[in-house]
Amino acid sequence: MSVSRNGKIGLLIVVACACACGAMKLLAAGAQQSAQPRQGGNSGVYTPAHPTALDAVRDYLDRHPLQPVQPIAYTHKVHLAKGLKCETCHVGVDTGPEAAIPNVQFCMACHQVIATDRPEIKKLTAYRDRGEDVPWVRVYNYSPSAHVFFNHAPHIRADVPCTTCHGDMTKETTARRLVNMNMGFCITCHTQRSVSIDCLTCHY
């Protein structure tokens, strides 16, 4: 028995809806798991692959946790209030593409003697004693499939305030994803500042 054109379209709609519902259930089920810090850190091998199919779906849909759960509840506002600058911890932000994330030895340079009795500092000390680095969860990143190359240094040299993308960290504890750094956001900023919006400025 042949199926009519309308019947085929209806069947496709049903299948599409079922797939969409399944994907949403996967996203909901994995939300809590994705918010937990990953163990083991970076393997050191570059690959555009995703650890799981769920990670691939979230990446495709541009779904990222707004405030990832960090292994240590680092409070930016306390450190900034004591006079530390962004560049103190995020070394290289004004000279190269990346803003480095401090390793455990860097943090322990101060916390060997400062606030050693506090729970979060005890966690930090435990990482050091085990010979492990803190598995910080990156808040801002681009999917490898986006082929985006973001370079911090030219933005710093152009006097673009850190708050443009990161918000006012003097009021924040653990970092939050305050800006959706999609193409529209970046092109709008570049246009307002009369700088290049050529594709190769950001994409490789």
At residue 195, the pLDDT reads 94
What pLDDT, on the 0 to 100 scale, is given for residue 1?
A: 45
Q: What tens digit of pLDDT does each residue of 147-159 get?
A: 888 899 999 999 9
Tell me whether residue 62 is in a domain: no
pTM score over 0.85: no
Kindly state whether residue 43 falls inside one of the protein's structural domains: no
Which tokens is 148 given? 């985006």
Render pLDDT for 99-139 as a digit per residue (tens, 0 to 9): 889 899 999 999 999 999 999 999 999 999 999 999 998 88
Alpha-carbon distance of 67 to 118, in angstroms, equals 23
13 part of a folded domain: no
Q: Around Cβ 22, how many Cβ atoms within 10 Å?
A: 11
- Residue 172 CB-half CA count within 13 A: 13
Distance CA 78, CA 101 (A): 17
Q: Under a CB-based contact definition with an 8 Å cutoff, are residues 90 and 96 in contact?
A: no
In a domain, 83, yes or no: yes
- Residue 182: inside a domain, yes or no? yes
Number of domains in the chain: 1
Domain-located, residue 192: yes
Do the domain assignments include residue 112?
no
Does any domain span residue 131?
A: no
Domain containing 195: what range?
68-101+136-204
